[in-house]
Amino acid sequence: MTAAVVFDLDGVLLESEQVWNEAKEALVRERGGRWSDRAPRDMMGMSSPEWSRYVRDDLGVDLDPEQISADVVARLERIYRERLPWIEGAREAVERLAARWPLGLASSSNREIIDLFLELSGLAGLFAVTVSSEEVERGKPAPDVYLDAARRLGVRPEDCTAVEDSENGIRAAKAAGMRVIALPNSAWPPDAEALALADAVIESLEELTPERVGA
């Protein structure tokens, strides 16, 4: 039985994966690095310490990882303050489920970006806990961020339902022992093997109802 729901942020509530990748690509090209077509998928789900090291070591940006992360976050903040890139139905889905269960947010975004989202969206009061993967040992597909969200919620992981869009996110939530509802990312869809791990697959957030979650 579901006792809490844990949302991913990027790709589930915000159409932001492309925004992140554009910010990272701009930095790489400005600093004379080597952007590759596989970089977005490689970095999907990584925590900020992980992807900033990847940008330095694999993409050739001659900056400290902390500087890389801060630069990309600053670019994201400017974009978000102009307009949050909502996924259609996201606000309504959060409000529907918050009326029945405590909610968590388990995201690979930096803490600053999570807090900015909560501030700009006005949804801070609906999330009982929020966790950034930079606050745990390992990013997705490791289960750490989901296990910490469940711990902070005071709920067993197996009594949580996670909502995820990506291959690494699905694997992370499933490895934590959670039930997983997948909303496949349209730009970088999860592979068939990862998608098969999901307990349910939806095509839009309109389908994310208390009835569907509680089934």
Residues tagged active-site: 8, 10
Question: Tokens 């690509």 identify what position?
Answer: 25
Cβ-based neighbour number of residue 159 at 10 Å: 15
What is the distance between the alpha carbons of residues 171 and 178, in angstroms, rounded to a whole number? 10
Q: Where are the alpha helices (DSSP H) in the chain?
A: 17-30, 39-43, 48-57, 65-82, 90-98, 111-121, 144-153, 167-175, 192-195, 210-214
Give me the helix-helix angle, 48-57 and 17-30, nearest 10°. Answer: 40
Question: How far is Cα 7 from Cα 162, in angstroms, rounded to an integer?
Answer: 6
